[in-house]
Structure 1
Amino acid sequence: MGKIGAVVLAAVVLIVALAAAGTGAMLSAFGDADTQPSRAALNDIPSEYLGLYMHAATTCPGLEWPVLAAVGKTESNHGRSALPGVRSGVNHAGARGPMQFLLPTFQNVIARHRLPKGGATPPSPYSAHDAVFAAAAYLCDSGARDGRDLTGALYSYNHADWYVSQILAQAQAYSGSAAFGADAAPASAALQAINYAQGQLGLPYEWGGDGPGASDAGFDCSGLTKAAYSAAGIPLPRTAQEQFDAGPSVPPEQPLKSGDLVFYGDPSSGIHHVGLYIGGGMMIDAPRPGKAIRVEPYRYQGDDYAGATRPASS
């Protein structure tokens, strides 16, 4: 083994040892005052993944580990998602693994970047080690190096404005200090609600549904928003009309924030639909019978948008 290989192997052994020793050891090895995890990060990120994010970020000057962690959270809840394509197979778009790589993209990355030892042989997008290091390399090549164009790098990872907004907000919540991008992160309750709703993507619309349980397989629109905010410790009424009435309302002249509830219908005669705004003009909602919970624009041609409320501020 050459000198470089020995150094890489030693670093991998260190990560494994630190993960076994606990989060505090990882912080002293890889974190500084500006990038130590927030309490939300420590509570949410498995130690194995936290070590990988911290180590992989050091391979790209200017890339902060909370950004990698935010990608991992959004793509697969740090490998914990049971959706197709995370542990085996592919999702509807052909992506696979905890960082949700398309196979040609992953193969292109590992052809240009030799991944550190410690993953699969040959490297696999299903390996947390390989996927996280490949994601760091991909973001670095796409603009994250030296902080040149982080938003552009994230947009390259997933071509959606809402995705960039979500990653930057999650990264700020994980860092506990540094701001990533121009937009302020949503309140912690709003972020928890968004994270919950993201975990329900792909479930079926079910009239009166309150989520997977003894009798319900999915949600209706207000069942989803109620469950999302319940996960954040904020109780909401059950129906879209009741949630609209509960407020507090967002004045029409104010911009929406991630976590706002957006409503459709006529305030005077009845509200019939609600979604959870996630930034970038997008929302998560349970649209209607026959459709799965999905991300879609909160304004669309012919809509009857009625306004928004901000439960996290109540």
Structure 2
Amino acid sequence: MRAPTAAILAVGATAAVAGAALLQAAGEDPVGAALSLAVPSEYQDLVEEAGRTCPEVTPDLLAALLSQESRFDPEAQSPAGAQGIAQFMPSTWESHGIDGNSDGKRDVWDPEDAIPSSARYLCTVAEEVSDVPGDKQQNMLAAYNAGSGAVKKYGGIPPYKETQTYVRAITDASKQPSGSGRIVSGGQAKTAISAAEKMIGKPYSWGGGNAAGPSTGICCSPSGKSGASITGFDCSGLTLYAYAKAGITLPRTAAAQYAASRRIDFKQARPGDLIFYGSSAAAGIHHVGIYVGGPYMIDAPRPGTQVRYSRIDSMDDLYAVARPVHASSKEI
């Protein structure tokens, strides 16, 4: 059964604007257009070159970081004042920005300066925390996000939710195979939606769900609920499963799925796209659902519920719509 299309009753201002845009797209056909590469073509050479600045930085890791920071938007500016494709704070840019294209100026808004500056800064913080125990790349990412002092103080990734989510999302995304040349076809979108629809009624299980289907989860959710005795899905377990049935491998968490997908304008959303919720990419994406048209998605909302059709305005922190990009795709 397909969810009905209806006028949207927004809960919050962000959800109202985004939901209205999604409603406008409800009459369009399912996903049929080719996706761009995970790294936009104009930045591929820059990322490849800068991604070899030091041993701790790789092109895949740098691409994942830039995707997480700005979705490769050279004009991005955060409410906190971070600027450009690599989201440098002005003070950090002043001390670490370089003239990457040798045009005589250091411009945070110019990707030819900002991308190599980001790699150079990663290498700098990697050196600053080189004597800290643990995974060197993860400590480097934590220092990039929270500062070298915090990583040294806690002897590794500091106990900040934002930093832990940031490190996990970039690490997971950087380990995904390249999506070069592969697309999400109309058939794949339909297959993913159909797979999710067949799971409607399955119970929510924190940490539950994998590529094979429902599974027991883990302990514990932020509200203290355990999925260890419940066979079912959490939000990202459901999306992972649905797209696995379409031949596409997604990372496990909602934040990592966002980092491994390409953000699109709300007005361009089509059935099969993933809908993400959270305050920001850096602060943590906490929920994901599969858009089915109108103001509806299929999701596994929270402990005590079941997989179901939900309105996209069921949460007031709608953040983004994105399309999966992955090399494991196959035409259906």
> Is the TM-score greater than 0.5?
no
- Give the structure, 1 or 2, with the largest relative contact order (CA under 8 Å, sep 6 or more): 2
Q: TM-score, normalised by structure 1?
A: 0.41
Q: Kindly indicate which of the two structures has a greater share of residues assigned to helix.
A: 1
